[in-house]
Amino acid sequence: MKVLAKNRVAFSIIIAALILIFGTVAIFWARGFKLNFKDRTIDRTGLLVASSVPTGAEIYLDDRLTSATDTNIAYLEPKIYKIRIQKDGFTTWEKDIDIRADLATEIKALLFPLAPEIKPLTTTGAANPVLSPDGTKIVYGTSGDRGGLHLMTLSDRPIPFRSDLRLLVKNSSGFDFTKSLFIWSPDSKQVIARFEQEDGSVLANLLIDNTDKSDQDPGDITGSLAATLNSWQEELIAKAQTQAVSAPDAVKNATAEAKIVGSSESVVSSPTTQPASPAKRGELPTTNYQLNYYPTGLIFSPDEEKILYKNKEGQFKVYDLKNKREVSLPNFADFINISWFPDSSHLVVAQKDLISIIEADGANKMTVFSGKFENGFVFGHPSGTRIIILTTLTQTEGNPANLYAVNLR
């Protein structure tokens, strides 16, 4: 009996020791430690979590095919790897990535088709289109007796349904909406259609008070235009100042607009002020004529975790609020404008006859459209699946430009 009892104790000790050993090994293995039998050491390693849109793209580490997305690649030696993600028919993603010991490094590659599908959103012309401040609607003018001021709601559908298109106001004698300029209210619920004479003098400023109603009879607010625009500008300044609280002082003071915000001066001077182009070459994107939608010079990403701005030297920069890191974007030849892509990780860059999407850190500039487009009108669709442009494309000379969707998926 004593021998049996001793055996039980010994057996229990052995089992406990094995559990402890295997448990320790499992913990070290899960943390990325790897046995190096050659050097008889335990090496610390890193983990790469790689994903892409679309999936199924090849992953190359230092030019060696390693796996395909989406996947995790474990037990990597800590160092900087040259990582390339590619798929036939799509752009290639490439970047130097620092793999660190005991850490998981995540990369997300957004690949775009080399020959994207282009679909028309309008067919009868789209004069002077303007994107709403919330990025979900476009107003534009069309000619003819059946034309007028149209509103397009940007839905996830590849081709707009009738419910996405609305004729807000019909053309009438003296008011051809293809010759008007449009100003959105800060809340994207009102639009001013501004009409001018050939000499630049004001003809009328029609306020479309509710963009949810069709066939409206708008009133002329020329007499109160300055007050209306000043009220809207104050809203924009208040919102911009609230957002700017999260930005470091060095970033806020770096923009040319830094001294303007906080001034007691009226931003809008007179209803007869000559409107400026919404796509002025070399400037940040605006969707206005007399309003400054970015009064601090800081353009926050949709998730408000990054800031795009142009410093006093004219250099575009992106500040990452989460990682507290700032990067300078490369210089763009024949630059027109730049705006955020809906995923907050990319920017849309418009240059002469060229539209590209670039990562927020300035890497992986990928061409998504090459050809003529009008007035610098380009932006990412809210779904992130396409960009919207204004172009005549293959239409004969003299025909009005139309809105097109360049599909990116």
pLDDT in tens, 58-83: 999 999 999 999 999 998 999 999 99
pLDDT at site 201: 84
Domains of the chain, by residue range, sit at 2-30, 41-110, 118-407
pLDDT at site 282: 44
With a cut of 50, list the residues of the chain below it in pLDDT.
29, 35, 260-289
Whole-angstrom distance between the N-terminal and C-terminal Cα of the chain?
76
pLDDT at site 279: 39
**Sheet containing 64-68, strands listed edge to edge, beginning at the edge strand earlier in sequence:** 64-68, 58-61, 79-86, 93-99
Confidence (pTM): 0.84
* Nearest-angstrom CA–CA distance, 187 and 184: 8
pLDDT in tens, 214-256: 777 888 999 999 999 999 999 999 999 999 999 999 999 998 7
The correct CATH number of 41-110 out of 3.30.1300.30, 3.40.50.300, 2.60.40.10, 3.30.930.10 is: 2.60.40.10
* Nearest-angstrom CA–CA distance, 141 and 167: 9
pLDDT at site 3: 53
pLDDT at site 212: 73
